[in-house]
Amino acid sequence: MYDKILFHKGFILLKLLFILFYSTLLLASSQKISVQLEWKHQFEFAGFYAAIEKGYYKDIGLEVELREYTQGIDISDEVISKRATFGVSSSSLILDKLQNKPVVLIASYFKQNALALAVKPEITNVEQLRGKKIMALSYEIDHTSIGVLLKEGGLKDEDYTFIDHDFSIDAFKAGDVDAMSIFISNQPYFLDKEGVKYNILNPADFGIYSYDLELFTSEEFARKNSDMIEKFAKATNRGWEYAFKHKKEIIDLIYDKYTKTKSKESLLYEAEVTQKLFKTNIFKIGATVPELIKLNAQMYTSLGLVQDGFEFSKLLSSYIFENLKYSENRDFQDKNIIQNNIADLTYEEKDYLKEKKIITACIDPDWMPFESLQEGKHIGLSADYLDIFQKNLSVAIKVVKTDSWMDSLEFAKMRKCDILPLVMETNERKEYLDFTSPYLKIPVVLATRPNVAFIADFDNLDNKKIGIPEG
């Protein structure tokens, strides 16, 4: 009996030693990386804290160090020079790219910039700031949406008195300045707590769009470590999902482990506003949206920091991580998939095509860049795909001339054409058409006039007129 007890204790001890050895081995094999933050510790970086605390980074073999911002640091240079593995930047990251810095965007979190102007309650528009005192950072005037707001409001530098920001609400509270730059996730809490009356001039409300909280790395690191970056981004996004579902837990973590600069109450206010700025009801966490990037690039053009006329699609090919990762083999893969699918035909299908000899197609004659008929010639994306189909089928495809998309649908109903190369499946159309699996996915977006504010929520469309193609 005594021997059995000794054996049992020895087995437990051996098991504990094995667990300790295995844990030490895992720790030793973890890859150490660093993330340079764009500001001090606060809920703005909650996803990173959660991913560390819940072991999401550890699960993929990463030991992550978060570095607070210190005065004078250029975040892009920190990453490009390899002093930091990753960086978290503001909307100015696209400006760095436009100025030929080798930065690569991995994930984009704030879908609306938190930067705005708090103004005295009697001020309701930009013109009323003429002759007033504005407290801000010079960088904000020269490089952000606030600068565009003032410029498009007709104000030049000499039209107002610039006061360098002291990072306090005291001057605004005392009435020494008429406006001050704020982050809507931060200062309104303190203004409300002090009972200060104010209005907010938010660039987004004036159709001036920019974003914030951009996770990035250097182009060199991205090309050499694509698998690790993909896992790191997924772990970070997972951290954000957890942080939003467990705000109070992460706020306790920030307060107890990282900083006591802000109260838990103010951190909760920041957390609620931050989640709204992520716009998770529209975008996936971390999604990179080319249309939003383009709006931001246009902002810097408006500020005169870059020349207009840059080739945007070429810019995105090396700026967005997913584009960089797949750019070299995407075209080959797409064509190869199509060719393999066409080659996999039954004998009956091949005999049918042999007897058919010519396939007739109806298109939308005026839908560029997707498809069009110009001087009797079929052009656009569908023309390129039909060329690929013809080469692999060894059967000619002839486009039947129609005057409109509605005519093309009628021709299809009357069997005057065999196929519609670009048509969306609907219940009505399924009554007279069979549909393949999609070979081209095209996002549907809302287009507005330049002076219309960015529409990030369908609630903003109340009482608006929307035009859509007939059919």
Task: Please report whether residue 444 resides in a domain.
Answer: no
Cα 368 from chain centre:
26
Residues 263, 361, single domain; the answer is: no
Residues 386, 289, single domain; the answer is: no
The neighbouring-strand residues paired with 107 are: 215
Dihedral sign, CA of 179, 182, 186, 188? positive
At residue 300, the 3 state secondary structure works out as: helix
DSSP state string for 413-440: HTTSSSB-SS----TTGGGT------S-
Angstrom CA distances, 463 to 102, 189, 207, 455, 459, stand at: 45, 32, 18, 14, 10
DSSP state string for 189-207: HHHHHTT---EEE-GGGGT
Quick one: which of 7, 67, 6 has its CA closest to 38? 67
CA triplet 88, 240, 224: central angle to 5 degrees? 50
CA 255 to CA 241: how far, in whole Å?
19
Task: Please report whether residue 309 resides in a domain.
Answer: yes
**H/E element holding 324?**
helix 321-326
Residues 220, 320, single domain; the answer is: yes
Task: Please report whether residue 443 resides in a domain.
Answer: no
At residue 273, the 3 state secondary structure works out as: helix
DSSP state string for 53-74: HTTHHHHTTEEEEEE---TT--
pLDDT score for 279: 92
CA 51 to CA 243: how far, in whole Å?
9
Angstrom CA distances, 457 to 111, 209, 292, 302, 446, stand at: 12, 14, 14, 25, 11
CA 295 to CA 384: how far, in whole Å?
29
Task: Please report whether residue 439 resides in a domain.
Answer: no
CA 141 to CA 56: how far, in whole Å?
39
Residues 378, 405, single domain; the answer is: yes
Query: Long-range contacts for 323-331 (Cβ within 8 Å, ≥24 apart)?
Result: 324/104, 324/219, 324/222, 324/223, 325/222, 325/226, 325/230
pLDDT score for 366: 92
In the chain, which residues have pLDDT < 50?
2, 4-7, 13, 16-17, 20-28, 328-329, 331-332, 335, 338-339
Task: Please report whether residue 29 resides in a domain.
Answer: yes
Length reported for the chain: 471
Residues 218, 319, single domain; the answer is: yes
DSSP letter, residue 34:
E
Task: Please report whether residue 449 resides in a domain.
Answer: no
CA 236 to CA 333: how far, in whole Å?
29
DSSP letter, residue 256:
I
Cα 275 from chain centre:
15
The neighbouring-strand residues paired with 371 are: 367
CATH number, domain containing residue 392: 3.40.190.10
CA 386 to CA 321: how far, in whole Å?
31
Q: Which residues have CB under 8 Å from 300's CB, separation 6+?
A: 94, 95, 98, 143, 306
Quick one: which of 115, 116, 117, 121 has its CA closest to 198? 121
Task: Please report whether residue 36 resides in a domain.
Answer: yes
Residues 148, 296, single domain; the answer is: no
Residues 270, 126, single domain; the answer is: no
Strands of the sheet containing 86-89, edge to edge, are: 62-67, 31-36, 86-89, 212-218, 103-110
Residues 294, 412, single domain; the answer is: no
Domain final residue, candidates 178, 206, 234: 206
H helix runs in 86-211, sequence order: 93-98, 138-143, 145-152, 170-174, 187-193
Phi, psi angles (nearest 5°) of residue 32: -85, 125
pLDDT score for 27: 45
pLDDT score for 328: 44
Residue pair 270/43 in contact (Cβ under 8 Å)? The answer is yes
Task: Please report whether residue 455 resides in a domain.
Answer: no
Query: What are 341-374's pLDDT values in tens digits?
Result: 555 677 788 788 888 889 999 999 998 888 999 9
CA 275 to CA 253: how far, in whole Å?
18
Q: What is the span of the domain harbouring residue 390? A: 330-431
Residue pair 49/36 in contact (Cβ under 8 Å)? The answer is no
Residue pair 396/434 in contact (Cβ under 8 Å)? The answer is no
Residues 103, 216, single domain; the answer is: yes
pLDDT score for 359: 93
Domain final residue, candidates 206, 236, 271: 206
Residue pair 111/277 in contact (Cβ under 8 Å)? The answer is yes
121: preceding bond cis by omega (within 30 degrees): no
Residues 222, 322, single domain; the answer is: yes
Domain final residue, candidates 291, 326, 361: 326
Residues 339, 396, single domain; the answer is: yes
Angstrom CA distances, 267 to 243, 247, 305, 329, stand at: 12, 9, 35, 45
pLDDT score for 4: 47
Could you give the number of structural domains in the chain? 3
Residues 49, 80, single domain; the answer is: yes
Q: How, if at all, do strands 62-67 and 31-36 pair?
A: parallel
